[in-house]
Every structure is written in C-alpha cells, then in structure tokens.
Structure 1
Amino acid sequence: MDELDALRGMRTALAEEEPPDALAARIQWRTGTGSAAPESAPRPLRRRLRLPLAGGLAAALAAGAAAIVVTQPGSDAPDRPRPPAEGNVLLVAATNAEKAPLGAYWHTRSISGDIYAVGGSAKNFYKVDARQGNESWTGRDGRGVSVYLDPPDVPLTAQDAQKWRAAGSRRMVRVPDPEGGAGSVSLDMAGTGTAVPSPTSPGDLAYGLTPARLDRLPTEPKALENALLGLKGNWRAYAATAKKEPIRALRGRERVRALSDVTIALLSKAPAPPKVRAAAFRMLAAQPGVRAGGRTTDPLGRTGTVISLPLKTTVPLGLYTAPKQLGTYTRELIVDPARGMLLAVRDLVATPPKGSRPLPPGDDGKPRSLTAKNMPDRFSRRGDLASYEAFEVAQWTDQAPPH
C-alpha cells in the first residue's frame, strides 16, 4: 500500500440520505440554495497533505522557495451569499473551460490553510491561518518542476490580528498538537522560504492520472463518469482493513465523495486537456445532491459561485495518523463560471469537535487519543472555516518552468 492509498484509507465520511426536496431541486438544477500527560517541548507544525487536492506526494513534499501574497481568507462578518445568475453555473463553467487553449505545461499555483485557535478558552482566543503552498509546471509527458511555498501563518481576520498584536505579535505561537499528542506545536508567523525547485515525474500525479491516461479520458460526461468509476483505490470511509476496489463498488454519497475527489484533481492539479476539464464540470453537475448556491469571496479575495456537495466529512489529521472523527465538516467548491475555473475548495464546521477517541500506536509506537480540547477548531461554531485550498493559477502555458 503506497502513501496515497494510506491517505485514502484515513478519510472518513458520514453519508446521509438525499431528502426528497433536495432531489427535486437537483432535477430542476438551475438556481438553488446550497446549502493529560505533561506537555512536551513545542515542535514546528508538520504540514498536512490533503489527498483530493494534492498533485502527488513527491510534488507536495518537494522543497522550494517562493514568496506569495494573498488576501486574508476570513472576514469579521460571515458571507452573505447573493442568488446566482440564471443558469447552471457548472455548465457555464464547462463551456468556458472547453475554450481554453492547450500549452506546453500545465501551470498551477495554490495555497492551502488550516485554521487553528490560539488561546486557552472560548472567551479568550484568536484564530491563525496556518498556510502552505505549491507551484508546479507539468509538461505534456508528465515531467516538470514543483516548488514548495512556505508563506507565513497569519491571523485569520482583522479582529484576530488585533488580538495577536495585543498578545505581543509573537513570531512563533503555540497550539495543542492536532495529531493527538500531549504537547503542542508551533505556528510560524514569519514563514521560512528556504528551498529550491524539484523535478517531478508522471508517477507523482494523483490517482495515477498520467498525461497519457488523461488524454484517453472520454469528453462526454456520462462516459467520463463511467471511466472514473473504474479507478481503484482505498475509497471506503470506514473499513476494518484497507483494500483496493473501484469507485463503482461504492454507493450513494460515498460514491459522490470519491468522484468529487477525482473531479477536484481534474479541475486543479491534473494536466487535463480542456475538453476533459469541461466534461468534469458537466459530470459534477449531474451528481446527486450537488447544488449551486450564492456568490461569495474565496480565500484569495476573488468572487465566485458556491457549489455545495452533499457530504459531511471529517478533516484528515495528517499522513501518519488516524483522521479526526470528533466533529463533522461540509465541503464547498467556489467556481468562476466566466473563466471556467475552480477557484477554491473549503471545509466548514458542521458540528464542532467534542469528546475523545483512542488512536492506535503512532510514529513512536505508543497509543494515544484525540480529544476535542486539542483540535484546531475546538472553539469553532457551525459554519466557521476549518480549512481550504485556493488555486491562484491553473492554466496551460508555453512559458518554461524555472530550473
């Protein structure tokens, strides 16, 4: 079992039956309303990989240096979505994605964030956006260059920034270890930016979707879905033992979850041809329970339309640990239909974490447990941002990558 399979095996998803009103809304899918051991010395936070969004382990872990500037992903007031324009936004996005020209390289630049609460009580805390990023150029043969980006961690909102400054504007802030340890981890509010570009190969691409395989994918949505249903992996939300099986072995929302994971890859990191990307948008529009919501702002400050997935899911903790199952989360995509582009994916708190859960022996061979008081979003409320990935660049280009 490789690392990607291990990540898939760590996912959890809580399936729900689709209610009749949601089914009716989907059939007429044009506009919708989406929807206590002694503390050890703090260690630097080990960045986590998001399987559906990562372009591959080697690419995600490659060392590199670059500086990026982003708009703060939060605001002091919650989003107030406006009704979307008439028409199925995913079909509009598909039409525009199909018009995009091919190039020598598929160029992506993304930034992701996990939201951590700094402080000891619900009455006295502030939130920090712990960020990481990746920039890559993938050639038509699957070879290219990947650069790991290490932007500084930042207060989530202006109010959080004020609280951080009042606490001394510390460069390193400490939060409970989200991987179940008894100690704490450190967030770097300055960033490091100390690495170089690293070469990548076809084997680094997610789900085994090499350029040759991508070129052979159907460009009709139903045929594309049928082809993707044959992808084998450890897709199950809960399983006593990990086993590889095709997506078509899944049912209901568990199948929608697996298909949406692959669709996100096709619309972001994978060097898919424009016609395949268009088919992916159309395939997503046809999935049960997928609905268009209102307009909102993504973590980079861009305006797009919310696409709600019919899922409640837990957020993975990391590469070597069991997933967090102390709270539930909803997933949304933010799409710019005019550009035919997936702008961002975000996970929102549905049920704040509570209770505890034992874990099997970890990296040190010792058993431990997860507790709600150690969770990054332990003070969150329903609807709060838990994590995200935003795609600043996702396009074909003839510009050669750095060496």
Structure 2
Amino acid sequence: MNDLDEIATLLGEPEPSAGAVARGRERLRRRARSGRARRRMGWFVAGAALAAAAGSAAAVVFTAGAPVNDGASVTGKEVLLMAAVTAERTPQGSGTYWHVTHKGFETGSAPMESWTRRDGRRWTRGMEDGPPDAVVPAPAARTLSLKGAEVSFEELEGLPTDPEALKAWIVARKGEEANMSASEIRGDPTLTLLALITDLPTPTAVRSAAFRALAATPGLVDVGAVEGGRHLRFPDPDGGEDDLELVVDPDKARVVRADLVILDDGSIAFNAGFFSVDTEWTDRLPR
C-alpha cells in the first residue's frame, strides 16, 4: 500500500485515530522535504493594478516565483486528500457574521472585505463602489452566492457530505446563466467545488467532501511548497489557456491564496495574480 492508498484509507474510516492522522501528515511533510534542497522563491509585484472582472474590485498583477519541482514533491491529489482529513476533524466555527477578506499583493493596497449575517444582511469595506475605509451596508440585502444563484447558510449546511453526491447536487443546481461560466452551464462541478473550499461558510464535513471531489480532478498538479502551503494548479474547466491557481494549507484545510473570487452576483472573477484569502466567523462588525 502506497502513501496515497493509506491517506485514502484514513478518509474511508469513520473515526481515524489522532495518531493515524498525525502519521499521515508526517508522511506528507517527509515527502515534501525529501530530495535536493529547493531554492526558496518569494512573491513579488510585477505590474500595476487592474480590474479582475467587470464590477469587481481592483487587483494587482504579479508573478509568483515558481518553486523548483525536483521530483520529490507530493501530488496534488495527496495534498487535497490530507486537507479533506483535516477538514473533517476540525471543529465547526460559529459567530454572527461570516467575514471574508481578499487582498492583492500591491504594496499598500487596501483589502476587500465583506461581513454577511444569516438573515442575508451584508456589509462591505474596500469594494470598488464604496468608500475605501468605511464599513457600509451592501446595496441590496442578499445571501451568499454559488453557481450563479443565491445560497443560504441553511442550504450550505444541508449539502451532501459524500463527494459523488455533492457533485450530483452541483450538477442539478440551477442558476442564472448570465452569472455562470460555460463549464458550470454544461454541468462541470470544478468551479463550484473551488468556491465551496475558498470563500463560503461551508460546514466542515461538506468541505471535506469538496476536497475529496477536487482531488480526483484530471490534470491537477502540485507545483511545490510555497509560503503558507502547497501551490496547486488545476486545468481551466472552461478550456482557457491559463490554469487555475491555489495555495492550500493541508494542515488547516484552508485556501490561503487564489486567483479566483466569487462576486456578489454569484459569478466568478479570475485574476492575473493571486489574492490572499482569509475567512472567519466573527461577532464583531467594525464601524
């Protein structure tokens, strides 16, 4: 049985022990450290700000120095399976507001933030259509968005926790085609699954299912270790020339950087560089 088989076995067990999960994480770390020493590369700004998409906030174009991939890296599938194990064992957070922060890598750029309450009320700061420093009510009360349609907290909490059932739910979900990509319209679940692990207050068991479903994506590549996690690359399900890029921390089951952002209408904006992503439950709405 290889490392991937053992990680998959952990996922299939109803309650793997803490020791088994720790051993799985240690195998991942050992494989990431093995082989020749990697050259450390940083993130750097390589251009000016631009709009990620019509109606989205400005973001900076920058280049990520790709770490050397010398053959000793783990696979993208293993990274996401380990994130699935972590997600399933992470306590569910709670709070009054779901707080999302995106930040480009331009020096001094202000973050884009939103606070969404369970009744659908929403506040933002740093958005293109509002003052840069003030927290203001969103123009219209709405809940969160997924696949071109509104989705409630309750609906997210009721999503399937089996990867195949979750994909089937996504395929059957109806949305506004004007706010959906070509792949979403034809039933490809990739972008919706990425949204579930990136921006939305997805319950831990559902997040685990989304990570497992994404682990089976053909063409998924682990580029290498970077600050904060593993740099993963997905083929664009819409057939574009640019791949989808994420940095995933498998020990925290979090996406820490991404080149895609969910807009208020449920559509997904793609950027030429990364946004940092920070999500949390909070009881505090800044004033």
What TM bracket, shorter-length normalisation?
A: 0.5 to 0.7
Match of 1:334 in 2: 247
Give, in angstroms, the shift of residue 236 of structure 1: 5.5
Partner of 1:402: 286
Change (3 A) 1:199 1:314: farther
Following superposition, the deviation at residue 46 of structure 1 comes to 7.0
Which whole-Å CA distance do the structure 2 matches of 1:332 and 1:290 have between them? 10
With normalisation by structure 1, the TM-score equals 0.46
Q: Deviations over 1:269-313 (max 9, x none)?
A: 2222222222211111123332334212xxxxx331122212376
The verdict on how the C-alpha distance between 1:142 and 1:84 changes in structure 2, with shifts beyond 3 A counting, is farther
2:83 equivalent to 1:198: no
1:223 paired to 2:165: yes
Give the secondary-structure state (helix, strand or coil) at the position aligned to 1:295: strand
1:280 paired residue number:
210
In the alignment of these two chains, the number of paired residues is 223
Partner of 1:49: 53
Is the Cα contact below 8 Å between 2:73 and 2:224 reproduced in 1? yes
After TM superposition, list the pairs within 5 Å mapping 1:55-134 onto structure 2.
74=63, 78-81=66-69, 83-85=72-74, 88-98=78-88, 99-104=90-95, 105-112=97-104, 133-134=111-112
User: Counterpart of 1:311 in 2: which secondary structure?
Assistant: coil
Runs of 4+ in 1 over 4 A off after TM superposition: 26-32, 72-75, 128-132, 312-315
Structure with greater helix share of residues:
2
* Distance (whole Å) between structure 2 residues aligned to residue 147 and residue 401 of structure 1: 11
Q: Could you tell me how far 1:336 is from its partner in structure 2?
A: 0.5
* Higher RCO, 1 vs 2 (CA within 8 Å, ≥6 residues apart): 1
Distance across 2 between alignment mates of 1:46 and 1:331 = 18
Structure 2 counterpart of 1:339, one-letter code: K
Q: CA deviation at 1:74?
A: 4.4
Contact 2:7–2:81 (CA<8 Å) still a contact in 1? no
Cα distance change, pair 205–303 in 1 and its aligned pair in 2 (3 A): same
Q: Indicate if the aligned counterparts of 2:232 and 2:246 stay in contact, CA closer than 8 A.
A: yes
Superposed CA RMSD in Å reads 4.1
Check if 1:260 corresponds to 2:264. no
For structure 2, list consecutive stretches of 5 or more residues without a partner in the other structure.
9-27, 32-47, 261-270
- Rg larger in structure: 1
CA separation in 2, counterparts of 1:139 and 1:129?
Answer: 31
Deviation at 1:230, TM superposition (A): 1.4
Q: Which residue in 1 is equivalent to 2:228?
A: 303
User: Which residue of 1 is the match for residue 126 of structure 2?
Assistant: 148
SS in 1 for 2:200: coil
Structure 1 unpaired stretches of 5+: 1-25, 33-43, 51-56, 62-69, 114-127, 151-191, 239-245, 297-301, 316-327, 348-384
Once the two structures are TM-superposed, the CA of residue 132 in structure 1 deviates from its matched residue by: 6.3
* TM-score, length-scaled by structure 2: 0.62
Amino acid at match of 1:145: W
Q: How do 1:306-385 residues align onto structure 2 when only pairs under 5 Å count?
A: 306-311=231-236, 328-346=241-259
Q: Alignment partner of 1:205: what SS?
A: strand
Structure 1 window deviating more from structure 2 (140-149 vs 212-221): it is: 140-149
Does the residue aligned with 1:137 lie in a helix, a strand or coil?
strand
Distance 1:130 1:47 in 2: 17
